[in-house]
Chains A and B, each alone.
Chain A
Amino acid sequence: MWIELQDIHKYYGPVRANNGVSIKVVPGTIHGILGENGAGKSTLMKILSGYTQKTKGAILLDGKSVTYQNPAQAARLGIGMLYQDPLDFPLLSILDNFMLGQTGGFADQRKKYRQEFESLSNSINFSLDPDAVVRGLTIGERQQLEIMRMLALGIEVLILDEPTTGISGTQKELLFNALSKLASEGKSVILVSHKLEDVEALCHTVSVLRYGKVTGRMDAPFNTAELLKMMFGTLPVPPTRKPTKPGETVLDLQQVSASGGRTGLKSCTVAIRKGEIVGLAGLEGSGQGVFLRIASGLKQPKTGEVRLGGRKLGGQDYHALKRLGVAFLPTSRLEEGLISGLNITEHFALQSHHNGFLVRWQKAFEKAARRIDNFRIKGAPASPVESLSGGNQQRLLLSFLPANPVLLLLENPTRGLDVESVNWVWQHLQEYCASETGTCIVFSSSELDEIMMVADRVLVFFNGSVIKDTKTAETDTQELGRAIAGKV
């Protein structure tokens, strides 16, 4: 089936996730959609699969304009999608998951669907036990289940969103073989990925997205350098910051492993020194979040050793580390960082260190007013935090940071901020490192140019491990981009 996306726009409030995307997919091919985090790939695919509604634009199937409101209608037209987090039912068996949505009524149709399941899995070379419970499966197996379900529904266009994240090499091979087979049978496969390696290995054609727009299209064989340029743009190279002389080790991780995120953290050994700014790069959920949470005491490692300022940590929680001068700011400002329903003054009152019985409202108010002024927050002491814009929420969070932290851990500190706010945030943060305490900052970011601009050092996470640890002065975005994609 021919698919044509024409001038697709999708706005989430002020955010333009897709800003005029046009893509054509030829039947019988595997079409890659490449781009970094936040480029708008997932949004585009959710629109195509009917899960989200577009703001503007048209979808043409075999030249005919179609509209649909939900995934079920899309499936009837032959479009199906595998989501990044599989939308399945962990407590149900594979067979139940397979049947669900295909059939209704009272009659027990397990036998019929078991047969269908088995013949399908033979034809596509997957081996799943239909009676196993989904909860115990790996992500790769859950993908296989979803693919089989899609095929049973008569899908002609199969969309896969980052399917190779968190699956093993063998499973990847199985998956790629299956996808190639589907394409050879005349079905269209759309593979969304940020991994060059996968796209290069599998796709016939690639469209690259950046900032919600298509920046290029290429047929196999691919020119890697060219693709990287489309993904990350041609970058200005202004390392605005003199590299500081790193001092003694502040944070020391030895062979630390932990669960969590999409991939967990796998035997990570990293030392972070005084006065350093370290950027954590990598696909979302490749272990950066777990790293930051272990360093801040929000999570305990399963194995390995963490030292802070030379002292071995043994199960101290976040509150204990906070007293030792560790500060952490989470990504989701309104979900984890700030308390919606409370105003700015109340946040400062919460923050206050004195242990009296009464809240010193006057002091909190004055402090709030002062900080609003210093941090140029657009808001009043009585403004509820949820009424602030993203940039102002981040300024507010930064204004809570203690005066002389030893270690600042920031998860995506500039996500969703405009350029002006980003610059402001970094100017402010750099003051900490220049100060006498010599604070070290560890931050994660999906923006390579941001890391290149402000960090002294970069750790690239891939599949839960640090696969690259280098000074920013000694690398470039191309090399980092490849590392993010798993090519060292």
Chain B
Amino acid sequence: MVELNLSILLAGVVAGATPVVLAALGETITEKAGIINLSLDGTILLGAMAAFALSYETGSLLAGFMGGAAVGAVVAGIVAVFSIYLGQNQVAVGFVLTLMTRDLAYFLGNAYARLQGPQVPPQPIPLLSKIPFLGEVFFSHNIPVYFSLLFIAFCWWYIYRTPLGLQLRAVGEHPRAVYARGIDPRKLQVLYAVCGGCFVGLAGAVFSLSAKPGWGRPQGAEGTGWIALALVIFGGWHPVKAALGAYLFAFLQVMGIYFQGWFPSVPAQVFQVAPFPLMIFTLVLMHLAQKESVLSWAEEKAWMKSIVHMFSGAAPAALGKPYRSE
């Protein structure tokens, strides 16, 4: 029997969720601006490969993280330019890039497979890590984990509290109105697509330098991109909700290990697909929560109303429909 130790379990969740949090938040930023970057799954792998290779060659972890971020930015930039300036379907371009970047990662990374490379050392925060329970859960990790925690707060603050974040939300809702207010919606969309891509690439770097150190085929990051894309929807395009979704997902994954101990006949891989039916179910609920008949039905029941409200996150109105000048 596997024993449950809550603080170890939760610490594992916080650490394991880090790359997913970064990717989901990066994509949230991109989609808030109205651009769908479907290429996440491949981008994360290519970012992971580039980060590992760079830090292996230079010996610098920082170079690795920057390389990963740069890869993410470039891929997202391709999606944005193809869609905004060349008028191509975002989904098509993103999908092609998903497959292509993954294969590119495997191909270029072949020489680095199964090598012992640099790895982010654990850095418990002095004092804070001594707090019982909370210290172990939140403050006994490494820098990327702390960064991801801060980044959640930063995203929320940036999107909902700063004038720049206001522009970001506005351009995803109504690019024409943004234009009428003297801001070039296209530049803004490219900018935020690239910014979001940076964090997706960074998520890859966190995989190969910290969460699942090293490179190989498979690396272990496969599928994360799709999860992150689903989490953006799950979170109703709200950064904090998306991050919570990422922790829920990581929790399910960690629990999978325990479940496997409890139900040895069920393979671990089965638990890994659990988030996907959950995602579809959530999407259906979100669709229902927007229906007028459901809304009026829930109006009289207070608890139903709050549930409906929870699922009422709507996609940015102009998502996938970039601005075209008249």
A106 at the interface (CB under 8 A from B): yes
Q: Would you call A71 and B173 a contact (CB within 8 A)?
A: no
Docked complex Cα distance between A108 and B326 (Å): 33
Question: With A70-B182, A72-B182 in contact, do A87 and B166 touch (Cβ < 8 Å)?
Answer: no
**A positions within 8 Å CB-CB of B:** 51-52, 70-73, 75, 83, 87-92, 96, 99-101, 103-109
Which residues of A have CB within 8 Å of B158? 106
B297 at the interface (CB under 8 A from A): no
Which residues of B have CB within 8 Å of A91? 169, 173, 314, 317
Question: With A92-B173, A100-B170 in contact, do A105 and B180 touch (Cβ < 8 Å)?
Answer: no
Q: How far is the CB of A372 from chain B (nearest CB, A)?
A: 33
A–B Cβ pairs within 8 angstroms, 26 of them: A51-B180, A51-B326, A70-B182, A71-B179, A71-B180, A71-B181, A71-B182, A72-B182, A75-B182, A87-B176, A87-B181, A88-B174, A89-B177, A90-B174, A91-B314, A91-B317, A92-B173, A99-B163, A100-B167, A100-B170, A101-B178, A101-B181, A103-B163, A105-B162, A106-B158, A106-B164
Which residues of A have CB within 8 Å of B179? 70-71
Which residues of B have CB within 8 Å of A89? 169-170, 173-174, 177
Docked complex Cα distance between A182 and B239 (Å): 43
The listed residue (A83, A92, A109) touching B163 by CB distance below 8 A is: A109
Which residues of B have CB within 8 Å of A72? 181-183
Query: What interface size band does chain B fall in?
Result: 20 to 34
Q: Would you call B166 and A108 a contact (CB within 8 A)?
A: no
B161 at the interface (CB under 8 A from A): yes
Which residues of B have CB within 8 Å of A73? 182
Q: How far is the CB of A158 from chain B (nearest CB, A)?
A: 15
Which residues of B have CB within 8 Å of A109? 163
Which residues of B have CB within 8 Å of A101? 178, 181-183
Q: Would you call A92 and B164 a contact (CB within 8 A)?
A: no
Q: How far is the CB of A59 from chain B (nearest CB, A)?
A: 18
Question: With A71-B182, A92-B170 in contact, do A104 and B177 touch (Cβ < 8 Å)?
Answer: no
**B positions within 8 Å CB-CB of A:** 158, 161-164, 166-167, 169-170, 173-174, 176-183, 314, 317, 326
Q: How far is the CB of A54 from chain B (nearest CB, A)?
A: 13
Which residues of B have CB within 8 Å of A75? 182
Which residues of B have CB within 8 Å of A104? 163-164, 167
Question: With A71-B179, A89-B177, A101-B182 in contact, do A96 and B166 touch (Cβ < 8 Å)?
Answer: yes
Q: How far is the CB of B180 from chain A (nearest CB, A)?
A: 5
Docked complex Cα distance between A52 and B176 (Å): 12
Chain B residue with minimal CB distance to A110? Answer: B161
Which residues of B have CB within 8 Å of A92? 166, 169-170, 173
Docked complex Cα distance between A96 and B165 (Å): 11
Q: How far is the CB of B292 from chain A (nearest CB, A)?
A: 11
Q: Which 7 A-B pairs have the closest CB atoms?
A: A72-B182, A101-B181, A87-B177, A103-B163, A87-B180, A71-B180, A106-B162
Docked complex Cα distance between A71 and B176 (Å): 11
Which residues of B have CB within 8 Å of A70? 179, 182
Chain B residue with minimal CB distance to A76? Answer: B182
Q: Would you call B173 and A90 a contact (CB within 8 A)?
A: yes
Other contacts beyond A83-B180, A105-B163, A108-B161: 4, CB < 8 A: A88-B177, A90-B317, A104-B163, A106-B158
Residue among B166, B174, B176 with the highest chain A CB neighbour number at 10 A? B166
Which residues of A have CB within 8 Å of B176? 87
Chain B residue with minimal CB distance to A105? Answer: B163
Docked complex Cα distance between A237 and B217 (Å): 84
Chain B residue with minimal CB distance to A75? Answer: B182
Which residues of B have CB within 8 Å of A99? 163, 166
Q: How far is the CB of A393 from chain B (nearest CB, A)?
A: 22
Which residues of B have CB within 8 Å of A87? 174, 176-177, 180-181
Chain B residue with minimal CB distance to A113? Answer: B163
Docked complex Cα distance between A70 and B177 (Å): 12
The listed residue (A51, A52, A88, A107) touching B162 by CB distance below 8 A is: A107
Docked complex Cα distance between A31 and B145 (Å): 63
Docked complex Cα distance between A87 and B326 (Å): 15
Docked complex Cα distance between A107 and B162 (Å): 6
Which residues of B have CB within 8 Å of A71? 179-182
Docked complex Cα distance between A71 and B181 (Å): 7
Q: Would you call A107 and B163 a contact (CB within 8 A)?
A: yes
Docked complex Cα distance between A99 and B181 (Å): 10
Docked complex Cα distance between A106 and B154 (Å): 11
Docked complex Cα distance between A105 and B169 (Å): 14
Docked complex Cα distance between A51 and B174 (Å): 15
Which residues of B have CB within 8 Å of A51? 180, 326
Q: How far is the CB of B313 from chain A (nearest CB, A)?
A: 11
Which residues of B have CB within 8 Å of A103? 163
Which residues of A have CB within 8 Å of B183? 72, 101
Docked complex Cα distance between A178 and B157 (Å): 37
Residue among B161, B162, B182 with the highest chain A CB neighbour number at 10 A? B182
Question: With A88-B177, A91-B173 in contact, do A52 and B326 touch (Cβ < 8 Å)?
Answer: yes
Docked complex Cα distance between A83 and B174 (Å): 14
Docked complex Cα distance between A109 and B165 (Å): 12
Which residues of A have CB within 8 Å of B180? 51, 71, 83, 87
